[in-house]
């Protein structure tokens, strides 16, 4: 795409460099630590699954009995139990669910443990490869029907079977991506619930069974629609890596996954979040799952005009963190949002500048564009008009993933018809102005170019300030989203462990090797 904003390449480069030096400090910490959910995710990828009669998941039962061993890695104990009892992971899971405490089993021959590890890792590798191959095959098969931007809608009934109906209807209407809203409380649970959800609160739980049910439904509708319909869930909260693991196993295609969202908006401890996001992104990168970052949330607490640069700064940081986790740019769905007050004169121009700027700076990234929410009211007619302008900007600036605005945004979870009307609006705009972007240029000293340059300048200044104080301090002083979080506060810090001598995690080793992170670390 020809660039139109004449942004300074030198400044963009400078911002990237600053972001890299900011995240390098954090990465030093991450590399020396693990968390209880990183360990549980590793167990899941080796085969730990199921739950006991009280609903406590097997990975948690294992972690609870071995809490003081997290710094050594929990995989060894699970593998040892498999070797010693000579059963399959499914059988062992059942025994653990029935009360077997694997911490009580004597540690056996390390050679046998490593052999078992390589057997299970090889099965994992096959499963991930087969998921990636299936997705790529279907995307290639139906390439001609692919839209730009991809239309993303949400289902949120709280009952996975009802969600299936709504998701299928949405796909028939033209949706390319279905997100299944997660129940509001899940981000703060330090376990992943088990089984299908039929009575969720504000959504369904992210469970492996729910993933499977929706995946199957979307695979069916993909065949009738001749488009590969992507499935999204929420890889955030206290169990980020475990949800990534489940998504990799069940072929989710996208995950909401931000490096700082949990810290700022869910008050999760920053050490925990940074460590978790790294591991979860290695899993997502391995399974070629596109991440969606959460910069849009900044604008729900801060002003979209004044704090536009915090969005761009966070995009640079998310990009840098993702790179460190071995993720390629084609998987980095950096987020932003159409959240300016509709009463602002020329607000549309400012939104346009911000969206096109993101497009020109992050060229290969599948940018995720979020609709108006903050200024949506009960006036559904005005809301529908705002969504039309949002659709316009989205198409005219070449966004990749467009989460459609709902006319009833401020009122209730979408009715079937709300979603259909949103899709109709988007498809009308996308088609009607298909080649608009190729037809326009911007005035040299016009509002749009000047605005983009100004936001980039402010971003460079902000990243320089963050580098100076360090990211931990920057978050503590409220530099992002006007939210202040102290390093030792927030939830989940007791689940962070320093890696001890002899730390063993064959899943981590596998992921790093797969992503080419091992050689880099040694070089």
Partner 1 sequence: MKIIKAYGDTLNDGAIQLSFTLPVPFGGKAKEAARIFVEKMGFHKADIVHAEPLSGEFTFFVAYGKTDNAVDYDEVEYTEAVDKSMSMDEVNAFIKQNFKRKIVIVGACTGFDAHTVGIDAIMNMKGYNHHFGLERYPMIEAMNMGSQVPNEKLIEQAVKINADAILVSQVVTQKDAHIKNLTNFVELLEAEKIRDRFIIVAGGPRISNKLAVEIGFDAGFGAGTYAEDVATFIVKRMYEKITEKR
Residues recognised as catalytic: 261, 296, 368
Q: Which is nearer to partner 1, 360 or 409 (CB)?
A: 409
Q: How near is the Cβ of 172 to partner 1 at its closest, in Å? A: 5
Told to check if 173 binds partner 1 by CB under 8 A, we report yes
Q: What is the SS3 assignment for 134?
A: helix
Task: From 135-143, 180-188, 321-329, 460-468, give the range in contact with partner 1 by CB under 8 A.
Answer: 180-188
Q: How near is the Cβ of 150 to partner 1 at its closest, in Å? A: 20
Q: How near is the Cβ of 301 to partner 1 at its closest, in Å? A: 6
Task: From 134-142, 166-174, 357-365, 395-403, give the range in contact with partner 1 by CB under 8 A.
Answer: 166-174
Cβ(460)–Cβ(310) under 8 Å?
A: no
317: tokens are 């940081």
Q: Which is nearer to partner 1, 284 or 302 (CB)?
A: 302
**Which residue spans within 79-222 are E strands per DSSP?**
150-155, 177-180
User: Of 6, 24, 118, 341, which one interacts with partner 1 (CB under 8 A)?
Assistant: 341
Task: From 6-14, 54-62, 178-186, 239-247, give the range in contact with partner 1 by CB under 8 A.
Answer: 178-186
291: tokens are 């991440």
Task: From 27-35, 71-79, 373-381, 451-459, give the range in contact with partner 1 by CB under 8 A.
Answer: 373-381
List the Cα angle 58/64/69 in 5-degree steps.
115
Q: Which is nearer to partner 1, 184 or 431 (CB)?
A: 184
**Rounded-to-integer distance, Cα 426 and Cα 402, Å:** 9
Within 10 angstroms of residue 470's Cβ, the number of other Cβ atoms is: 14
Within 10 angstroms of residue 74's Cβ, the number of other Cβ atoms is: 29
Told to check if 188 binds partner 1 by CB under 8 A, we report yes
Rg of the chain in Å (alpha carbons): 23
395: tokens are 């198409």
Q: Which is nearer to partner 1, 7 or 177 (CB)?
A: 177
Q: How near is the Cβ of 182 to partner 1 at its closest, in Å? A: 10
Task: From 14-22, 137-145, 411-419, 511-519, give the range in contact with partner 1 by CB under 8 A.
Answer: 411-419
Q: How near is the Cβ of 168 to partner 1 at its closest, in Å? A: 7
Told to check if 107 binds partner 1 by CB under 8 A, we report no
Told to check if 196 binds partner 1 by CB under 8 A, we report no
Q: How near is the Cβ of 473 to partner 1 at its closest, in Å? A: 21
Within 10 angstroms of residue 334's Cβ, the number of other Cβ atoms is: 29
158: tokens are 């709280």
Within 10 angstroms of residue 494's Cβ, the number of other Cβ atoms is: 12
356: tokens are 């096109």
**Residue burial 437-463, b: 16+ Cβ < 10 Å; e: rest:** beeeebeeeeebbbbbbebbebbbebb
CB within 8 A of 407, min separation 6: which ones?
380, 381, 383, 384, 387, 418, 421, 422
Tell me how far the alpha carbon of residue 401 is from its chain's centroid. 13
Told to check if 318 binds partner 1 by CB under 8 A, we report no
Told to check if 159 binds partner 1 by CB under 8 A, we report no
User: Of 87, 410, 437, 493, which one interacts with partner 1 (CB under 8 A)?
Assistant: 410
**Rounded-to-integer distance, Cα 14 and Cα 8, Å:** 10
Pick from 110, 52, 33: nearest CA to 77? 110
Told to check if 377 binds partner 1 by CB under 8 A, we report yes
**Rounded-to-integer distance, Cα 20 and Cα 26, Å:** 10
Q: How near is the Cβ of 169 to partner 1 at its closest, in Å? A: 4
User: Of 385, 411, 427, 465, which one interacts with partner 1 (CB under 8 A)?
Assistant: 411
Told to check if 222 binds partner 1 by CB under 8 A, we report no
Contact map string, positions 8 to 47, toward partner 1, x by CB under 8 A? ----------------------------------------
User: Of 11, 374, 382, 499, which one interacts with partner 1 (CB under 8 A)?
Assistant: 374
Per rule CB under 8 A, count of chain residues that contact partner 1: 34
Q: How near is the Cβ of 264 to partner 1 at its closest, in Å? A: 10
Told to check if 344 binds partner 1 by CB under 8 A, we report no
Q: How near is the Cβ of 404 to partner 1 at its closest, in Å? A: 15
**Rounded-to-integer distance, Cα 401 and Cα 7, Å:** 23
Contact map string, positions 266 to 285, toward partner 1, x by CB under 8 A? xx------------------
Q: Which is nearer to partner 1, 110 or 202 (CB)?
A: 202
Strand duo 332-333 + 230-234: pairing: unpaired
User: Of 190, 219, 220, 303, which one interacts with partner 1 (CB under 8 A)?
Assistant: 303
How far are the Cα atoms of 234, 235, 272 from residue 205, in angstroms, in the given order? 10, 12, 22
Pick from 275, 249, 257: nearest CA to 45? 249
**Rounded-to-integer distance, Cα 513 and Cα 523, Å:** 14
Told to check if 428 binds partner 1 by CB under 8 A, we report no
User: Of 416, 434, 440, 486, which one interacts with partner 1 (CB under 8 A)?
Assistant: 416
Pick from 186, 204, 189: nearest CA to 36? 189
Within 10 angstroms of residue 50's Cβ, the number of other Cβ atoms is: 18
Which spans of this chain sit near partner 1 (rule: CB under 8 A)?
158, 165, 168-169, 172-173, 183-185, 187-188, 201-202, 265-267, 300-303, 341, 343, 374, 377-378, 410-413, 415-417, 420, 482
């Amino acid at each position: 795409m020809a660039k139109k904003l004449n942004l300074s390449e030198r400044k963009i480069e400078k911002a990237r460099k600053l972001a890299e030096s900011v995240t390098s400090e954090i990465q030093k910490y991450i590399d020396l630590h693990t968390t209880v959910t990183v360990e549980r995710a590793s167990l899941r990828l080796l085969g730990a699954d199921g739950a006991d009669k009280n609903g406590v998941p097997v990975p948690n039962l294992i972690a609870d009995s071995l809490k003081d061993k997290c710094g050594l890695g929990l995989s060894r104990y699970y593998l040892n139990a498999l070797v010693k009892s000579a059963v399959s992971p499914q059988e062992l899971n059942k025994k653990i669910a029935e009360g077997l405490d694997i911490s009580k089993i004597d540690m056996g021959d390390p050679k046998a443990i490593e052999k078992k590890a390589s057997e299970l890792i090889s099965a994992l590798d096959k499963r991930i490869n087969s998921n990636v191959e299936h997705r790529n095959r279907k995307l290639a098969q139906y390439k001609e029907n692919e839209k730009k931007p991809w239309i993303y809608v949400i289902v949120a009934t709280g009952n996975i079977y009802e969600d299936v109906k709504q998701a299928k209807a949405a796909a028939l209407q033209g949706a390319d991506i279905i997100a299944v809203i997660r129940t509001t409380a899940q981000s703060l649970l330090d376990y992943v619930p088990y089984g299908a959800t039929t009575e969720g609160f504000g959504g369904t739980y992210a469970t492996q069974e729910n993933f499977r049910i929706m995946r199957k439904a979307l695979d069916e509708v993909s065949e009738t629609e001749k488009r590969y319909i992507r499935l999204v869930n929420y890889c955030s909260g206290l169990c980020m890596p475990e949800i990534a693991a489940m998504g990799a196993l069940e072929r989710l295609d996208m995950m909401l996954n931000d490096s700082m969202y949990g810290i700022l908006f869910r008050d999760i401890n920053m050490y925990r979040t940074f460590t978790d996001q790294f591991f979860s992104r290695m899993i997502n990168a391995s399974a070629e799952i596109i991440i969606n970052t959460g910069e849009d949330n900044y604008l729900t607490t801060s002003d979209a005009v004044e704090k536009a640069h915090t969005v761009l700064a966070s995009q640079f940081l998310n990009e840098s963190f993702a790179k460190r986790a071995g993720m390629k740019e084609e998987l980095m769905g950096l987020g932003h949002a159409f959240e300016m007050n509709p009463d602002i004169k020329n607000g549309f121009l400012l939104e346009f500048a911000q969206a096109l700027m993101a497009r020109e700076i992050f060229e290969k990234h599948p940018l995720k564009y979020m609709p108006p929410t903050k200024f949506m009211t009960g006036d559904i007619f005005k809301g529908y008009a705002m969504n039309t302008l949002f659709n316009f900007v989205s198409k005219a600036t070449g966004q990749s993933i467009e989460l459609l605005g709902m006319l009833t945004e401020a009122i209730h979870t979408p009715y079937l018809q709300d979603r259909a009307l949103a899709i109709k609006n988007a498809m009308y705009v996308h088609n009607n102005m298909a080649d608009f972007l190729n037809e326009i240029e911007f005035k040299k000293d016009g509002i749009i170019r000047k605005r983009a340059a100004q936001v980039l300048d402010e971003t460079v200044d902000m990243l320089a300030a963050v580098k100076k104080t360090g990211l931990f301090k920057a978050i503590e002083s409220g530099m992002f989203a006007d939210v202040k979080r102290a390093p030792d506060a927030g939830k989940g810090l007791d689940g962070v462990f320093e890696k001890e001598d002899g730390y063993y995690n064959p899943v981590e080793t596998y992921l790093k090797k797969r992503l080419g992170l091992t050689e880099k670390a040694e070089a």
